[in-house]
C-alpha cells in the first residue's frame, strides 16, 4: 500500500481516462469478435489521446519532457530497431534447436550461391539474390517497415505510456516499482483482446492475466530505461514498432502447426527478460540531467 501511495494521482487519472476512452473501440472489437479489425488501430491511439487530454487539463506543454529530434541519440534509434529483431531471430533458432518448432522447408533456399527468402516482403524483392544483396535488402526493408509501423500505430501507445504515465510514475530509472506498475497497467489494458484469442490463443486466461503483464513489465524496463536516458520519444516508439514487426518473422519462418506454444513463449519471454536485465544493470541509476527538468520541443 505504501508503494501504491507513491504513484501520483495524475497518473491514476490518466489510467482511468485511458480505460474509459479504450472502452469505445473495445466495444466494437468485442462485438465483432475480431482483434484484427480497424478498431484496433483506434485502440492503440487511446493512450495518446488520454495523455493529450491530461496535459491540456493541467496546462502542461504537449511535448513537455520529450525530445522529438530523431537525429539526437540516433544510435539509440538503431538499437531500438534491431534489438527486437535479434531477439526474434534468436527465438526462432532456439525454438528449432529445442524441437519446439519446425522451420518451413522453403523459407530459406540456397542454390549456387543465390539465396531466396520466402514469406518476407523486401524492397528489392525476395527472389534469388547473392548474400551481399539480400542482407542489406532485408535489413533496410525491415528498418523501413518498423519505422512505418511506429508512426502509424506504436506512437499512439508510447506517447501515453512512456510520454505521460512514465513521467508521473517512473521519471527516474531507480524507480523500479513505477515500472512494475506501468507494466501491469499496460499488460492488463490488452486483456479484452487477449481473451478474444489475440497473442495467446491456446491459453488466453493465463496469457491475459499473467504472461502479458510480465512481458509488458520487461518491455517497460527496456523501452522506459532507454527513454529516461535520452528523453527522445522516438526511441520507445521504434522499440514498440520493431517489436511488432519482428514478431512476424516467426510467422513467416516457422510451421504454425509444429510450434509448441508454451516452450516458444518461454524462450521469447526469457530473451526479453535477459534484455531487461542488461538494461536494468547498465542504466538503473542513469538519467539525462540536461533534460529531466526541461520542457523540450525539438523539431
Report how far residue 162's alpha carbon sits from residue 183's, in angstroms, rounded to the nearest whole number.
11
Q: Among residues 110, 140, 101, 54, which one has the least CA distance to residue 253?
A: 101
pLDDT in tens, 99-141: 999 999 889 999 988 999 888 889 888 888 999 999 999 999 9
Longest dimension (CA), the chain: 66
Nearest to 219, CA basis, from 203, 250, 191, 242: 242
- Tell me if residue 34 falls in helix, strand or coil: coil
DSSP 191: H
DSSP 164: I
> pLDDT tens digits, residue range 68-98?
998 989 999 999 999 999 999 999 999 999 9
Q: Which helix (H) or strand (E) holds 114?
A: strand 114-117
pLDDT of residue 299: 30
Has residue 152 got a pLDDT over 50?
A: yes
Q: What is the pLDDT of residues 214-261, one digit of tens each?
A: 999 999 999 999 999 999 999 999 999 999 999 888 888 999 999 999
Q: Which three cell numbers stand for residue 23?
A: 472502452
Question: pLDDT-based confidence at 1, cuts 50/70/90?
Answer: low
Amino acid at each position: 500500500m505504501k508503494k501504491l501511495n507513491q504513484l501520483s494521482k495524475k497518473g491514476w487519472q490518466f489510467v482511468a481516462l485511458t480505460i474509459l476512452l479504450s472502452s469505445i473501440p473495445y466495444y466494437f472489437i468485442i462485438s465483432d469478435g475480431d482483434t484484427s479489425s480497424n478498431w484496433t488501430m483506434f485502440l492503440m491511439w487511446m493512450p495518446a489521446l488520454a495523455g493529450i487530454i491530461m496535459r491540456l487539463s493541467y496546462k502542461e506543454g504537449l511535448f513537455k519532457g520529450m525530445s522529438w529530434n530523431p537525429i539526437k541519440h540516433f544510435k539509440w534509434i538503431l538499437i531500438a530497431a534491431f534489438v527486437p529483431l535479434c531477439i526474434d531471430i534468436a527465438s526462432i533458432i532456439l525454438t528449432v534447436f529445442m524441437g519446439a518448432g519446425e522451420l518451413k522447408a522453403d523459407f530459406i533456399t540456397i542454390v549456387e550461391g543465390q539465396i531466396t527468402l520466402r514469406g518476407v516482403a523486401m524492397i528489392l524483392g525476395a527472389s534469388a539474390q547473392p548474400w551481399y544483396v539480400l542482407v542489406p535488402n532485408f535489413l533496410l526493408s525491415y528498418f523501413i517497415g518498423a519505422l512505418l509501423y511506429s508512426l502509424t500505430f506504436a506512437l499512439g501507445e508510447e506517447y501515453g505510456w512512456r510520454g505521460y504515465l512514465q513521467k508521473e510514475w517512473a521519471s527516474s530509472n531507480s524507480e523500479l516499482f513505477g515500472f512494475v506498475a506501468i507494466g501491469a497497467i499496460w499488460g492488463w489494458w490488452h486483456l479484452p483482446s487477449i481473451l478474444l484469442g489475440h497473442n495467446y490463443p491456446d491459453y488466453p486466461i493465463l496469457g491475459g492475466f499473467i504472461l502479458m503483464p510480465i512481458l509488458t513489465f520487461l518491455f517497460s524496463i527496456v523501452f522506459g530505461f532507454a527513454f529516461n536516458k535520452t528523453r527522445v520519444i522516438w526511441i520507445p516508439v521504434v522499440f514498440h514498432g520493431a517489436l511488432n514487426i519482428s514478431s512476424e518473422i516467426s510467422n513467416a519462418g516457422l510451421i504454425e502447426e509444429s510450434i509448441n506454444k508454451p516452450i516458444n513463449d518461454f524462450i521469447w519471454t526469457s530473451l526479453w527478460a535477459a534484455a531487461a536485465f542488461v538494461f536494468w544493470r547498465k542504466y538503473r541509476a542513469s538519467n539525462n540531467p540536461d533534460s529531466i527538468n526541461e520542457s523540450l520541443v525539438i523539431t
